[in-house]
Structure 1
Amino acid sequence: MLAGLLAGTALAVAVPAMAQSTETDAQAPTGESATAGEPAASMIVVTARKQEETLLDVPIAVSAFDSARIEDRLAQDVGDLAAFTPGFQIQESFGRSFDRPVIRGASNILMAEGKVGVFLDGIPFFGDFSSLDLANVERVEVIKGPQSAVFGRGTLSGAINVVLKRPGDELEGKISATVGEYDRRELSAFVSTPITPWLGVQAGAKFYDIDGQFDNTAVAGERLGDQNTRQYMAGVYLDPSPDMSLSLRWLHQRDDDSHYAIGLQPASENNCFLDTRPYYCGEVEAPDTYGINSDRLQRPGIYRNADRFLGDFSWDIAGSGYEFSFQAGYSDLVEVIGTDQSYDDRDFFLLGSPVVCGFIPIGNQLCTQSGFNTTTGVHRKTETYEARITSPGTDRFRWRLGAYTSLDRSTPMEEYLEASELGLDMLGDARRIRNRAVFGGIDFDVTEALTLGAELRHQVDKVRNTTLSYRAGDLFAPEYLADLAFPNPDQIVGEAGVRSATFKATLPRFTANWAVSPDLALYAQYSQGNSPGGFNTVGAPEETFDEEKLTNYEIGLKTNRWGFDYLNLSLFWQDYSDQVLTSTYQTETRIDSYSVNIGKTRIRGLELEGAYPLIGRSVSLQFNYTYLDAEIRRGIDPDQAVLLLGAECKTDGDTNLDLPGCREAASVAGNRPPLVSKHSGAIGLRTEHEIAPGWSLFSGADLVYRSSFFAQVHNLAESGDSTRVNLQLGVRDDNGLRVTLWGKNVFGDETPVGILRYVDLGAGVPSAPSGDSSRAFAITPARKAEFGLTVSKAF
Structure 2
Amino acid sequence: MKSLGTLSRLLAGSALLLASGALAQTTTTPAAPTATDDTEILVTALRRSESLQNVPASITAFTSKTIEAAGIVRPADFIGLTPNVNLVQTQNAGSSFVIIRGITQARNSEPSVAVVVDGVQQVNAAQFNQELVDIEQIEVLKGPQGALYGRNAIGGAIIITSKAPTDELAGKITAGVDNGFGYFARANLSGPIAENVKFRIAGTWYDTDGFIPNTFLNEDADPFKEFNLRGNLLWQATPELTVDLRGAVSLLRTQAFYYNIVSDVNDVSLPVRVNNAGINDRDLYNATLRIQHDSDIGTFTSTTSYDKVTEILTGDGFNFLPIPESLLFQFFGFDINQSQYLDVSAWSQEFRYASPADKPLQVIVGAYGIGTQRYISTGNLIDTGNGVTPIYRTPSTNPLNPQQTFLADSQDNFAWALFGNAIWKLNDQLRVDASLRYDRDARENTTLTPANFLPNVPGFPPGVTGQVRKRTFDAWQPKLTLTWKPADNVTLFGGWSRGFRSGGFNQTGVGGVAASNGIVGVNDIFEAEIAETFEIGLKTQTADRLLTFNASAFTTKSENSYFFVFLAANSTQNLGNVPETRIKGFEVDATLRPLPGLDLIAGFGYTDSEIKRFPGPGVVGNQAPLISRYTLNLTGNYRRPLTETLDLTARVDYRRTGRTWFDVENSTSRDPIDLVDTRLGVAGRNWSLTGFASNLFNIKYNAEFSPGGFVFKARPRRYGVEASFNF
TM-score (norm 2): 0.87
User: AA paired with 2:22?
Assistant: V
For the pair 1:509 / 2:473, whether they are aligned, the reply is no
For 1:675, the equivalent position in structure 2 comes to 626
Deviation at 1:622, TM superposition (A): 1.4
Moved more, 511-520 or 152-161: 511-520
Residues 402-551 of structure 1 aligned to structure 2 (within 5 Å):
402-412=366-376, 414=392, 417-418=395-396, 423=403, 425-470=405-450, 495-541=465-511, 542-551=523-532
Deviation at 1:208, TM superposition (A): 0.6
For the pair 1:788 / 2:716, whether they are aligned, the reply is no
260 and 126 in structure 1: CA distance in 2 versus 1, 3 angstrom threshold:
same
Q: 2:285 aligns with which of 307, 316, 330?
A: 307
In 2: Cα distance, 1:729 partner to 1:568 partner:
29
For 2:272, the equivalent position in structure 1 comes to 290
Deviation at 1:610, TM superposition (A): 3.1
In 2: Cα distance, 1:86 partner to 1:15 partner:
13
Deviation at 1:388, TM superposition (A): 0.9
Q: 1:145 aligns with which of 133, 143, 146?
A: 143
In 1: Cα distance, 2:712 partner to 2:630 partner:
21
Deviation at 1:116, TM superposition (A): 1.5
720 and 10 in structure 1: CA distance in 2 versus 1, 3 angstrom threshold:
farther
In 1: Cα distance, 2:133 partner to 2:540 partner:
29
Deviation at 1:260, TM superposition (A): 5.7
In 2: Cα distance, 1:176 partner to 1:246 partner:
30
User: AA paired with 1:204?
Assistant: A
Deviation at 1:568, TM superposition (A): 2.7
Deviation at 1:709, TM superposition (A): 0.7
For 2:361, the equivalent position in structure 1 comes to 397
For 1:166, the equivalent position in structure 2 comes to 164
For 2:648, the equivalent position in structure 1 comes to 697
Per-residue CA distance 1:521-572 (angstroms, 9 max, x = gap) = 2221210001111111211222212111100111112233275454332211
For 1:232, the equivalent position in structure 2 comes to 229
For 1:706, the equivalent position in structure 2 comes to 657
Contact 1:3 1:707 in 2 (8 A): no
Q: 1:336 aligns with which of 298, 312, 318?
A: 312
Moved more, 522-531 or 338-347: 338-347
467 and 448 in structure 1: CA distance in 2 versus 1, 3 angstrom threshold:
same
Contact 1:303 1:337 in 2 (8 A): yes
Deviation at 1:283, TM superposition (A): 5.4
For the pair 1:575 / 2:557, whether they are aligned, the reply is yes
Deviation at 1:369, TM superposition (A): 5.9
Per-residue CA distance 1:233-280 (angstroms, 9 max, x = gap) = 212101112212111111011000123643222xxxxxxxxxxxxxx4
In 2: Cα distance, 1:390 partner to 1:628 partner:
36
For 1:71, the equivalent position in structure 2 comes to 68
User: AA paired with 1:787?
Assistant: Y
717 and 10 in structure 1: CA distance in 2 versus 1, 3 angstrom threshold:
farther
For the pair 1:53 / 2:50, whether they are aligned, the reply is yes
Moved more, 98-107 or 54-63: 54-63
Contact 2:599 2:637 in 1 (8 A): yes
Unpaired runs of at least 5, structure 2: 9-17, 26-30, 377-390, 453-462, 512-522
User: AA paired with 2:533?
Assistant: N
Moved more, 426-435 or 400-409: 426-435
For 1:98, the equivalent position in structure 2 comes to 95
User: AA paired with 1:192?
Assistant: S
In 2: Cα distance, 1:721 partner to 1:389 partner:
47
Moved more, 435-444 or 166-175: 166-175
User: AA paired with 1:788?
Assistant: G
In 1: Cα distance, 2:338 partner to 2:371 partner:
29
For 1:645, the equivalent position in structure 2 comes to none
In 2: Cα distance, 1:153 partner to 1:596 partner:
19
Deviation at 1:103, TM superposition (A): 0.5
Contact 1:676 1:709 in 2 (8 A): yes
User: AA paired with 1:374?
Assistant: Q
In 1: Cα distance, 2:314 partner to 2:417 partner:
37
- Please state whether the residue corresponding to 2:605 is helix, strand or coil: strand
In 2: Cα distance, 1:716 partner to 1:553 partner:
31
For 1:156, the equivalent position in structure 2 comes to 154
- Please state whether the residue corresponding to 1:294 is helix, strand or coil: coil
User: AA paired with 1:460?
Assistant: R
User: AA paired with 1:309?
Assistant: A
Moved more, 708-717 or 385-394: 708-717
Moved more, 548-557 or 626-635: 626-635
In 1: Cα distance, 2:496 partner to 2:352 partner:
23
Contact 2:133 2:203 in 1 (8 A): no
For 1:763, the equivalent position in structure 2 comes to none
467 and 415 in structure 1: CA distance in 2 versus 1, 3 angstrom threshold:
closer
In 1: Cα distance, 2:117 partner to 2:589 partner:
25
Contact 2:258 2:316 in 1 (8 A): no
In 2: Cα distance, 1:738 partner to 1:459 partner:
48
CA RMSD of aligned residues (A): 2.9
User: AA paired with 2:690?
Assistant: T
User: AA paired with 2:184?
Assistant: E
For 2:385, the equivalent position in structure 1 comes to none
TM-score (norm 1): 0.80
Per-residue CA distance 1:739-767 (angstroms, 9 max, x = gap) = 11111111111122211221xxxxxxxxx
In 1: Cα distance, 2:215 partner to 2:641 partner:
50
- Please state whether the residue corresponding to 1:84 is helix, strand or coil: coil
Contact 1:35 1:618 in 2 (8 A): no
189 and 351 in structure 1: CA distance in 2 versus 1, 3 angstrom threshold:
closer
For 2:519, the equivalent position in structure 1 comes to none
719 and 697 in structure 1: CA distance in 2 versus 1, 3 angstrom threshold:
same
Residue identity (%): 23
722 and 414 in structure 1: CA distance in 2 versus 1, 3 angstrom threshold:
closer
Deviation at 1:596, TM superposition (A): 1.6
In 2: Cα distance, 1:682 partner to 1:15 partner:
10
User: AA paired with 2:293?
Assistant: W
Moved more, 577-586 or 132-141: 577-586
451 and 11 in structure 1: CA distance in 2 versus 1, 3 angstrom threshold:
farther
586 and 176 in structure 1: CA distance in 2 versus 1, 3 angstrom threshold:
closer
**Greater Cα radius of gyration, structure 1 or 2:** 1
Residues 607-756 of structure 1 aligned to structure 2 (within 5 Å):
607-615=587-595, 617-637=596-616, 666-733=617-684, 735-756=685-706
For 1:478, the equivalent position in structure 2 comes to none
- Please state whether the residue corresponding to 1:241 is helix, strand or coil: coil
In 1: Cα distance, 2:231 partner to 2:566 partner:
44
User: AA paired with 2:562?
Assistant: V
For the pair 1:345 / 2:321, whether they are aligned, the reply is yes
In 2: Cα distance, 1:50 partner to 1:112 partner:
26
In 2: Cα distance, 1:52 partner to 1:3 partner:
42
Per-residue CA distance 1:462-514 (angstroms, 9 max, x = gap) = 01111114599xxxxxxxxxxxxxxxxxxxx9722100011111100011222
In 2: Cα distance, 1:622 partner to 1:527 partner:
29
676 and 469 in structure 1: CA distance in 2 versus 1, 3 angstrom threshold:
closer
327 and 732 in structure 1: CA distance in 2 versus 1, 3 angstrom threshold:
same
In 2: Cα distance, 1:464 partner to 1:348 partner:
43
User: AA paired with 1:437?
Assistant: A
In 1: Cα distance, 2:329 partner to 2:178 partner:
44
Deviation at 1:63, TM superposition (A): 0.9
Deviation at 1:4, TM superposition (A): 14
Contact 1:260 1:301 in 2 (8 A): no
Per-residue CA distance 1:600-630 (angstroms, 9 max, x = gap) = 1111111123321122x23321122111111
User: AA paired with 2:549?
Assistant: L
Deviation at 1:172, TM superposition (A): 2.5
